[in-house]
Chain A
Amino acid sequence: MQRRNFLGLGVAAMSAVLAPSALSAIDYRKTKPNTWTAHNVKDAMTALYGTTATTESGVKITIPKVAANGGAIPVNIQSDIDAKSVALFQDANPEAAVAVWTLNDKSIINFDVKIKMKASGSMTAVVEGKDGKLYSVTQSLEVALGGCEG
């Protein structure tokens, strides 16, 4: 019962906050600069969200098991969580962060990007729920030909 009250409050507070915030752009490179220079997923996640405690559920990431070309690996992230932001990390490149999406009331979490990876490793997608919790999923993949040599 308490949880229900809490959620109800959260929704009311959110709808009040959402209207103005949907209009202003947030550039995470400027607001959270440390995220982009962190060398591993844990540091990057801490810099971005202040914690690495996540619940491993509710998020789906679709990547190939073996990527023939590390220069363009297709990534798809999906989730039904009512969320504020979504972040994508990987652990093969010199820095961990790849992208941080800012969500608004029109967003559907179904994002496709193509990314570069230097070697085999794993990707982690994190969804920051409006309930203040983090949800994540991690999946490993093999990269046949690294993509950062250029």
Chain B
Amino acid sequence: MKIKAKLKKDVVKVKAMAKHDMITYDQGKKKGVPANFITHWVAKVNGEIVYEVSTSQFLSKNPIIKFQYKGSQKGDKIEMTWTDLLGNTSSKKTKIK
């Protein structure tokens, strides 16, 4: 996963890209592999949730998400975690620039 976070005025802009095939049920059937896609994303700063989304199979392959939030300082660390249907998780931490 790649993640970038930038503070501008009071607002932190975050961009993240997960490396994931996002196989839908239909695609899985065709290829004979189990469907697997990211189902839940959460971003935390100092243990507090700043972004959270539950997602379905219809995000693109290697999905890119962008969001904004307020209330963080420069240098705070933001940690993004995703969980997929098969229970795999991946997380990445980055400093807010």
Q: Residues of A with Cβ closer than 8 Å to B?
A: 22-23, 25-29, 36, 71-73, 90, 93-95, 97-102, 104-108, 110-117, 147-150
A-B contact count (CB 8 A): 108
CB pair B48 A22 closer than 8 Å: yes
The docked-state distance in angstroms from the alpha carbon of A90 to that of B57 is 12
Please tell me if the beta carbons of B65 and A150 are within 8 angstroms of each other in the complex. Answer: no
| CB within 8 Å for A99 and B54 given contacts A104-B49, A112-B64 | yes
| Contact assessment for B66 and A112 in the assembled complex, using a CB-CB cutoff below 8 Å | yes
- Per the bound structure, the CA–CA distance linking A116 and B59 in Å amounts to 6
Chain A to chain B contacts (Cβ below 8 Å), 26 pairs: A25-B42, A25-B52, A29-B39, A36-B56, A93-B58, A94-B26, A95-B57, A99-B56, A99-B59, A102-B53, A104-B50, A107-B50, A107-B51, A108-B67, A108-B68, A110-B67, A111-B66, A112-B64, A113-B59, A113-B64, A113-B66, A114-B60, A115-B58, A116-B22, A148-B27, A150-B24
**CB-defined interface of B28-45 with A at 8 Å, one 1/0 digit per residue?**
001100000001101000
- Expressed in whole angstroms, the Cα–Cα distance for A148 and B65 within the complex equals 19
Contacts of B27 in A (CB 8 A): 148-150
Q: Which residue of A lies closest to B26 (CB)?
A: A148
Contact of A150 among B30, B39, B67, B72 (CB under 8 A): B30
Q: Judging by beta carbons under 8 Å apart, are B59 and A114 in contact?
A: yes
Q: Is the CB of B70 within 8 A of A106?
A: yes
Q: Is the CB of A112 within 8 A of B67?
A: yes
Is the pair B58, A71 in contact by a Cβ cutoff of 8 Å? no
A108 touches B56 (CB 8 A): no
Neighbouring B residues of A106 by C-beta, 8 Å: 48, 50, 69-72
